[in-house]
Amino acid sequence: MPVPARWGDAHFTEHGFAQKLAEAGLRGHHYHDLDFWQVYDPDRRIGVQLMRSPDAFPPWEQGAPLRAFLHWEYAAGGMRLAHAGTLGLDGKGVLLAGAGGAGKSGTVVAGLLNGLDSVGDDYVLIDLSGGVTARPLFSILKQDPQGFARLGLGRRLGTGRPLNWQGKHAFHINEIAPRPVRASLDISALMVPHVSGGKMSSIAPISRKDALIALAPSGIAQMPGERESGFRFFSDLTRLLPCYRLYLGRHPEEIAGTIADFLARAPDEAERDHAGL
């Protein structure tokens, strides 16, 4: 692993670099493994990207191009990129949050294969003005080989594709979506998937604190700068939504059906109170 950059006598830190730039009214990111720089002026809405060669992009750039610039631009307008997935029905949806391996991406794919909509997995744009709205930004979905096989994606997409930098299959959402991707989903709940091993899926309320822990850390750590505003944003989001644990069953059709049944009825005030809001 390359030695971190040095600024004078101090080692480079992402947060320290972001603070220095913020003092000058700028946003920025330095990925030292590739000596890759991104700097953005939110007032002038101008960005600069410095790379050692024309193809020296970070490995995640293909699936989420210009992610940092989009993050800074939307954050300046009060919105936020969330590291979360979505599933919806008739314009109403749920936000799926959790660390890697929690089952978030597999749940999104299971829903799409069984008639539900999504405006994205991994990163979606969240707007809190007038409720909670999720909008699409990136169109790439990912599954590890085990999930790819379990969900039957090989029969649909073929098995000859190379794996990406994470050792996962990457494919376009339109390849499996039942209909064109919607412009937005009105989010009615936040769900934290959990691979329970049980036969059937179930949904149970969780505290706002547990939901915030599942949602905020990865969304803030993977988005350079805007740390304080990010915590405030995600805290506000969990206040606006009822929060649940989604215990995942074994069968994709049943998981999708459980979420569809939930979406068919809007969470009422009693459920919101039960969720600790």
The pLDDT tens digits for 91-107 are 999 999 987 777 899 99
At 274, the pLDDT band (50, 70, 90 cuts) reads very low
pLDDT at residue 266, rounded to an integer:
61
Q: Where does 114-189 have alpha helices with state H?
A: 145-150, 153-157
At 171, the pLDDT band (50, 70, 90 cuts) reads very high
* 107, 248 contact by CB (below 8 A): yes
pLDDT at residue 98, rounded to an integer:
87
**pLDDT, tens only, 213-272:** 999 988 888 888 778 888 999 999 999 999 999 999 999 999 999 999 999 986 543 344
* 135, 188 contact by CB (below 8 A): no
Measured in whole angstroms, the distance separating CA 160 from the mean position of its chain's CA atoms is 27
At 160, the pLDDT band (50, 70, 90 cuts) reads confident
C-alpha to C-alpha distances, 51 to 6, 32, 59, 118, 222, nearest whole angstrom: 19, 11, 13, 33, 20
Does the reported pTM lie above 0.85? yes
| Helix orientation angle between 227-240 and 208-221, rounded to the nearest 10 degrees | 150
CB half-sphere exposure, 260, CA atoms < 13 A? 15
Give 242's contacts (C-beta < 8 A, 6+ positions apart). Answer: 188, 189, 190, 205, 267, 271, 272, 275, 277
More confident residue, 74 or 31: 74
pLDDT at residue 267, rounded to an integer:
55
Rounded to an integer, the average pLDDT of 139-161 is 91
C-alpha to C-alpha distances, 253 to 49, 158, 198, 257, nearest whole angstrom: 44, 21, 14, 6
